[in-house]
């Protein structure tokens, strides 16, 4: 990858599997603004990494992710005005878009605690990609009887 992340671990196997490990086990891998930003940038960068065939995202220790860090995100969001809240919402949506735009399988290896809205989105994105790959259409397209 073009950069070395500070807020999570990144490892590339000889078989083309990139592993992203959330690495705040003492906080059950709770997300911070920095983690969100770096994950967003990492998934954007992975689009152009030709050696990467699949991506696994997991958590260190006894949890995948406990959601937003109570002090570093939740507490901070209470102090933001509407523009600040909108900025955070846009950043989290950008992360989900970057995961969805990656034309490679993204596998959520869930261990232990898995909480928070973005964890749900991560699992939904991973399930949606697998469904599309297997059935040739997205879950919404399948529900309405069509194709993408």
CATH code of the domain covering residue 118: 3.90.226.10
pLDDT in tens, 57-100: 999 999 999 988 999 998 899 999 999 999 999 999 999 999 99
112 contacts 59 by C-beta, under 8 angstroms = yes
DSSP 75: I
> What is the tally of structural domains in the chain?
1
- Looking at the whole model, is its pTM more than 0.75? yes
Within a domain: 106: yes
User: Looking at per-residue confidence, does 115 or 38 come out higher?
Assistant: 38
Confidence of residue 137 (pLDDT cuts 50, 70, 90): very low
Within a domain: 2: no
Within a domain: 35: yes
Within a domain: 148: no
Within a domain: 3: no
**Range scoring the smallest mean pLDDT among 2-6, 32-36, 41-45, 127-131:** 127-131
Q: How far apart are CA 22 and CA 6, in angstroms?
A: 10
Within a domain: 1: no
When pLDDT is averaged across residues 44-62 and rounded to a whole number, the result is: 94
| pLDDT at 43 (0 to 100) | 95
Q: Which range of residues forms the domain containing residue 116?
A: 8-143
């Amino acid at each position: 990858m073009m950069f070395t992340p500070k807020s999570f671990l990144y490892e590339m196997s000889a078989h083309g599997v990139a592993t992203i490990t959330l690495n705040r086990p003492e906080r059950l891998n709770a997300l911070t603004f920095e983690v969100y930003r770096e994950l967003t940038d990492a998934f954007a960068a992975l689009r152009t990494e030709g050696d990467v065939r699949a991506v696994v995202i997991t958590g260190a220790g006894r949890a995948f992710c406990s959601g937003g860090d109570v002090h570093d995100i939740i507490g901070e969001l209470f102090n933001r005005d509407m523009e600040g809240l909108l900025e955070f919402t846009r950043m989290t949506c950008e992360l989900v878009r970057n995961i969805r735009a990656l034309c490679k399988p993204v596998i959520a290896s869930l261990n232990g605690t898995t909480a928070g809205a973005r964890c749900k989105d991560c699992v939904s994105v991973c399930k949606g990609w697998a469904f599309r790959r297997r059935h040739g259409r997205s879950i919404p397209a399948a529900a309405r009887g069509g194709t993408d």
